[in-house]
Amino acid sequence: MLVAQPALGLQIRQLEEELGVPLLIRHSRGVSPTEAGQRLYVRALEILELVERTRSEVALSGRGERETIVLGLTNGTTALIGTQLIRDADAALPNIQLSLVEEMSSVLVDALDRGEVDIALAYDAPEKPGLLRIPLIEEEVVFVHAATDKDDPRPIAFSSVLAMPLVLPNERDVIRVRLQALANQLALPLRIGYEVSSIGMLKRLVADGASASVMPYASVLDYVEAGRLSCRRIVDPTPKRTLYLVRSTRRGRFVQEDEFVDFLQSGVHRFIRILGDLAVTLPVMDTPFSKVMARLTSDSDT
């Protein structure tokens, strides 16, 4: 900001007097924001982002260029609807350049925070300042093992799943977190045979018979159709996760944001149809995403 420390401190005190509330807690180790100070900081970031977005929008419209939107998807959603989204976006949204990023849900949420991703479909996204979350579906995950001639199609008890060592991603992974929580409720250990964060390697390990796993059906559908993996539903209890539409509230609106999120909603409906009984649609899916986001954004401003 190119403002000397004493002058900056004076400006903050003047702002506190003007607003009538303290913005900083001052102590021997430095300063930390009050609740009001943190709210002001978050809103200031939103304003700066909006100014930058407005500058970019005006420049783009003047040059007739396409607006770029970076969409974050997990491996499973990419596998089932990513290619179709890219193709359909060209025809349905000619003024938008859609860019896809594929990562784990926790990585996508961090990328939203850093401004590297604009909108994401992420599982079990945490509630945190600066993020708008819309729950879309509840999805069962399945027990996955190497295919054999004697596959049992019946559901498997969760306790039986826990009785064998599993190959799972690292401890930040949404499914592993959910499995650990359910195992704790049953006072049973979650046995990790291998820890692998690469979905491709994880599937190959399971297909080779090295271990079993619990995974999203969408992530293993290609191996199932190729006859390399088999899936069983899990019961007593059934591990589930929630898919959210997530957006940073610190980023200004896109010119065609309403059109884009409603277009994205059609992709989510396609995803639900492929999952079949493994997905439970939440009520928000009956309303256009653009209207839901407008209402939630309005509520957060009041």
Q: Read off the CATH number of the domain in which 176 is found.
A: 3.40.190.290
List the alpha helices (DSSP H) in the chain: 5-19, 35-63, 75-77, 83-92, 105-114, 158-162, 174-185, 199-207, 217-225, 257-275, 289-301
- Same domain? For 124 and 51 the reply is no
What residue numbers bound the domain in which 36 lies? Answer: 1-62
Q: What is the pLDDT of residues 130-179, one digit of tens each?
A: 899 999 999 999 999 999 988 888 999 999 999 999 999 999 899 999 99
Q: Which residue in 297, 275, 272, 276 sits closest to 286, CA to CA? A: 272
Does 47 score more than 50 pLDDT?
yes
Please give the share of the chain, as a percent, with pLDDT higher than 70. Answer: 90
pTM above 0.75, yes or no: yes
Q: What is the CATH number of the domain that holds 276?
A: 3.40.190.10
- Same domain? For 191 and 205 the reply is yes
- Same domain? For 56 and 175 the reply is no
Q: What is the pLDDT of residues 97-111, one digit of tens each?
A: 999 999 999 999 999
- Same domain? For 125 and 260 the reply is yes
Q: Which amino acid would we find at residue 6?
A: P
Q: What is the CATH number of the domain that holds 57?
A: 1.10.10.10
- Same domain? For 113 and 195 the reply is no
- Same domain? For 116 and 198 the reply is no
